[in-house]
Structure 1
C-alpha cells in the first residue's frame, strides 16, 4: 500500500510538470524603430517593468517557459479564472531580488509581501488591445487588492512626446517602455504589434570559456567568451564586480548582456555583462 501511494505521488508530480513545462502562447516584443514604426498615435505605451514574466492560466501562475511559479495561496487567491499576462515586480532595479523570490520552491510569505503582479494584458484573440486594456483595468479594479495592479497605458500624438516620457521614466530608473498596437488582437509569438524601447539593447548568450585577467585582475576573470543562439562568439570583459570576477558565471550558464547596436561584422557593440539569467 505504501509503495502504491508513493507511486501515485510520483506520477502526480511528473504529470504536473508535463502540464506546466509546456510553453504558453505569449506575445513577445520586437525592438522599436522610429523609421519603421512612426505612427505613435496608433500605440498604447506603458513602462517596461524589469521583473519576471508571469502568466495566470486561470488557476496557476507559470513562467514564459511554462514552469510553475510557487506563489503563496494568499497571493493568487484573488485572481479570477481568466487568462492574464503580467510581470512579477518589486521596484525599479530590483530584478535580482524578485527573481530569487520567484525561483524559491517553498514560498516565503514575508518575501512575497513585497511582490506586485503588474497585469498588462488579458489575452483574447477576438479583441483589440485597446479593449483588452479596458477589460484588465476594470477587472483589477474590482479585485481591490494591493498586490495586483493594472499597468497604465498612455497615448502620445507624436514621437517628441514619446521621447519626453521615455527620458523622464528612464532617468527615474525605469528599464524602458513598451508600445502595444491598440488595434491588434492577441497573437502569440514575436511580431510588430508589441515593441520595446530601451536606452540600451540586451540579449542572452551561453558562457563557453573563462579568459584570464591581467594586471589588477591577475588570478581573476578577465573576460567571458560567449556564444549566441545564432552561433556567433565574442568576448565580454566589462560589467563585472570584483566578486563576480573571482567567482564568474559557470561555463554552460546563460548570461544577459547589454550592448549599443551592432558592428559592421554583426557583433554586439560595447557588450557589457548584466547578470546571470537564472532558469525559470
Structure 2
C-alpha cells in the first residue's frame, strides 16, 4: 500500500519510510547522505498538509499555495536548535503569519514517483521555491568521510545524518533503506505511568515510566522542561529518548527525553 494510509494506523494517518540506526563502520557509497533535520514530519498529498498522525497542519493559505499537486514528504523546519519554537508554531489551530514566514518545507521524498531514490532526489531540485527547500544530498566515498561530515554537522548544531539507499524505490514503514547516524542513539517508548517528583519537583512529575516495543520497562527522569513536568505526556503517549548504550538486560543507559513523539 506504500505511502497511503493503512488499516493498522489511525484513520487518516500515513506511514512514510522510517529510519533504522546505521551500523558502525558502514560504507556510505550505496547511499545518498543528508543532514537529519530536527523538525516536524509533514506529508503533502497534493491537497492537504498533514502530520504523520493524519491531523491537518493549519498552515497559512499562502504557504499551501506554494506546494505542487504531486505528493511530497519532508520536514517543516525553522533551523537548527529551534524545534520547540517550530513545534509551538505548527501546532496552533490558527496559524500566526509571522511565525510561518520563518518555516520552510524541506522535502526529501516524492511518494508518488517511481524510479530509484537518486532519480527522485534530482527531480526534487526543480521544486525549489520560497517555501520548498529540496534537502541537499551528498555522495560520500568512505566511512571516514561519513564520520567527518557527521562531526561537521553536529559541531554546527545539527542532529546527525540520514543515509538513504540511492537505488531504493518509494517505501513505507521502518526499513534498512533509510538509516540514521547520530552521536547518541535515540528510540521510542510508550508512557505507562508517572512517578511523582520530590524536592524542587514536588507536586510535579518526577519521572516517566515507559516501555519499549520490545517490552523493556525503565524510568525516564531527565530532559524535561518545566512545562512538561507540570503537564506530562499522558499514559499511552509515545516519547522519543536519547541514550548512550544499553545494559545486558537491554535497558538504555543515560536515557534523556528528546521530545514527545506523537504530539502532532
Distance 1:122 1:197 in 2: 22
Q: Pick from 37, 61, 81: which aligns with 2:49?
A: 61
Q: Which moved more, 1:46-55 or 1:245-254?
A: 245-254
Per the TM alignment, residue 25 of structure 1 is displaced from its structure 2 partner at its CA by 4.5
Distance 2:148 2:58 in 1: 39
Deviations 1:143-188 (A, max 9, x none): xx32211111000110101100000111111011100111111111
- Provide the residue aligned with 1:28 in structure 2: 18
User: Which one of 185, 202, 210 corresponds to residue 226 of structure 1?
Assistant: 210
Is 1:157 the counterpart of 2:146? The answer is no
Structure 1 or 2: larger helix share? 1
User: What secondary structure sits across from 2:178 in the alignment?
Assistant: strand
TM-score by length of 2: 0.87
CA drift of 1:39 comes to 3.2
CA distance in 1: counterparts of 2:262 and 2:111, whole angstroms: 27
- Give the one of 38, 51, 75 matched to 1:87: 75
Unaligned stretches of 5+ residues in structure 1? 1-19
Structure 2 residue runs without a partner (length 5+):
1-9
1:128 aligns with 2:116: yes
The structure 1 residue matched to 2:35, chosen from 30, 47, 56, is: 47
- Alignment of 1:247 with 2:230, yes or no, is yes
Q: Could you tell me how far apart the structure 1 residues matched to 2:242 and 2:20 are?
A: 16
C-alpha separation between the residues in 2 aligned to 1:21 and 1:213? 36
> What's the CA shift for 1:237?
2.5
Q: TM-score, normalised by structure 1?
A: 0.82
Aligned residues: 254
Over aligned residue pairs, what C-alpha RMSD do you find? Answer: 2.2
**Deviation at 1:238?**
2.5
Question: Aligned-pair distance for 1:125?
Answer: 5.7
The reply to whether residue 262 of structure 1 matches residue 246 of structure 2 is: yes
Partners in 2 of 1:250 and 1:133 — Cα distance?
Answer: 37
The corresponding residue for 2:125 is 137
Deviation sequence 1:59-97 (CA, Å, 0-9, x none): 111112222111111001021110111100001111122
